[in-house]
C-alpha cells in the first residue's frame, strides 16, 4: 500500500526526516519503557491447551503462506474479499469460544475495557502518527531493494481499479472490511492470542518476532513484507505499553484508513512518471 510521488521537494524531505526521527524516538522510548518496567500484557490465563491451539494456527497459517506465495498471480474479486473477512471472523469466534470454554474472559484477557475508549483512541492516534513515517520509509527501502520488481498487494490493485472505475459498492465494501473488520480480527488473532500465548511459553522477544513475521507474511506480498513486519512490531510495543488491545485496533484502523485515502487520492489524481 505504499505510493509516494517522485521528486519530493527538499523541504518536504526535511519534514519527513524530522517526522521519521520523532517516530523512531517514540517507539525507542516505548521499547525502553517495556523492557525496564515490564509489559502490561498478561499471560497467566493461558495454558497448554492454548499452546496446542496456537501451534495449530502457526502450522495452518504457514501452509497458507507457502501456498499463497507459490500460487500464480490472480485478480482479487469481491468473493475473495468477503471470503477472507469471513475466515478471519471465524477464527475470532473460535478463539473467543475456546477461551470462554476454558473460563478465560477474552475482554479481560485482552484488556479491552482496561482504559476508556476515548483515551485508547487518542493514544492510538498519537502512536499511529509516530509509526507512519517509519513504515513509509521501510516500504520505500523495500522498493529500492527489489529494483523495479516490487508490486502492490492484490487488494490494493483491486481497490484502485474499483475507485478508478467508479465502482462505489466495491470501494465501500473494501473500506468497511479494511477499516472495521480487519483491524479487530487481525489484532485479536495475531497480537491478542498468538502473541499472548507465545509470550507465555517462548518469551516476549520470540513471541513478538514470530507473530510479526506471521502477520506480515499473511499479506502475501514480498515488497510490503518488511514494512508490515515493522508495523506489527510497533503494534506489539503499543499493546505491551498500554495493556489494551483496543489501542492496537484503533491504530490498525487509522493505518488502513490512511492507506485507503491515499489510494483514493491517487485514483483521482494519478501520478504520471516522467
pLDDT band per the 50, 70, 90 thresholds, residue 156? confident
Question: How far apart, in Å, are the Cα atoms of 251 and each of 57, 229, 238, 245?
Answer: 24, 15, 9, 10
Cα–Cα distance, 132 to 210 (Å, whole number): 22
Q: Which residue do the cell numbers 517526522 mark? A: 19
Query: In the predicted model, what is the mean pLDDT of residues 204-221?
Result: 96
**Tell me: the pLDDT tens digits for 111-132?**
998 889 999 999 999 999 999 9
**Tell me: the pLDDT tens digits for 239-266?**
999 999 999 999 999 999 999 998 888 7
Cα–Cα distance, 264 to 136 (Å, whole number): 17
90 Cβ contact list (under 8 Å, min separation 6): none
pLDDT band per the 50, 70, 90 thresholds, residue 5? very low
Residue 27: pLDDT above 60?
A: yes
pLDDT at position 272, please? Answer: 43
pLDDT at position 12, please? Answer: 61
- What are 63's three cell numbers? 501452509
pLDDT at position 8, please? Answer: 46
Calculate the average pLDDT of the chain: 90
pLDDT band per the 50, 70, 90 thresholds, residue 269? low
Instruction: Evaluate whether 16 touches 133 at the Cβ level (below 8 Å).
Output: yes
Residue 1: pLDDT above 60?
A: no
Residue 185: pLDDT above 50?
A: yes
**Tell me: the pLDDT tens digits for 29-61?**
999 999 999 999 999 899 999 999 999 999 999
Range of lowest pLDDT (81-85, 150-154, 174-178, 266-270): 266-270
Residue 69: pLDDT above 70?
A: yes
pLDDT at position 76, please? Answer: 85
Crossing angle for the helix pair 245-268 and 117-146, to the nearest 10 degrees:
50
Amino acid at each position: 500500500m505504499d505510493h509516494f510521488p517522485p521528486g519530493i521537494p527538499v523541504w518536504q524531505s526535511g519534514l519527513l526526516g524530522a517526522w521519521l526521527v520523532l517516530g523512531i524516538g517514540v517507539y525507542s522510548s516505548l521499547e525502553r519503557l517495556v523492557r525496564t518496567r515490564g509489559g502490561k500484557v498478561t499471560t497467566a490465563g493461558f495454558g497448554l491447551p492454548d499452546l496446542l491451539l496456537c501451534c495449530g494456527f502457526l502450522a495452518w497459517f504457514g501452509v497458507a503462506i507457502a501456498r499463497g506465495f507459490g500460487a500464480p498471480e490472480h485478480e482479487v474479486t469481491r468473493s475473495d474479499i468477503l471470503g477472507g473477512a469471513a475466515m478471519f471472523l471465524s477464527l475470532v469466534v473460535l478463539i473467543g469460544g475456546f477461551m470462554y470454554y476454558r473460563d478465560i474472559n477474552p475482554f479481560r484477557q485482552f484488556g479491552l475495557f482496561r482504559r476508556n475508549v476515548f483515551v485508547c483512541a487518542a493514544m492510538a492516534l498519537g502512536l499511529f502518527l509516530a509509526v507512519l513515517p517509519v513504515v513509509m520509509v521501510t516500504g520505500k527501502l523495500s522498493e529500492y531493494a527489489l529494483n523495479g520488481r516490487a508490486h502492490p498487494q492484490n487488494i490494493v490493485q483491486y481497490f484502485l481499479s474499483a475507485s478508478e472505475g467508479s465502482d462505489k459498492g466495491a470501494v465501500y465494501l473494501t473500506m468497511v472490511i479494511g477499516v472495521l473488520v480487519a483491524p479487530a480480527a487481525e489484532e485479536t488473532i495475531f497480537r491478542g492470542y498468538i502473541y499472548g500465548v507465545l509470550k507465555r511459553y517462548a518469551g516476549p522477544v520470540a513471541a513478538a518476532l514470530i507473530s510479526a513475521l506471521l502477520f506480515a507474511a499473511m499479506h502475501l506480498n514480498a515488497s510490503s513484507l518488511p514494512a508490515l513486519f515493522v508495523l506489527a512490531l510497533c503494534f506489539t510495543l503499543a499493546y505491551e505499553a498500554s495493556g489494551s488491545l483496543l489501542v492496537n485496533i484503533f491504530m490498525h484502523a487509522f493505518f488502513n484508513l490512511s492507506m485507503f485515502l491515499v489510494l483514493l487520492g491517487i485514483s483521482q489524481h494519478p501520478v504520471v512518471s516522467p
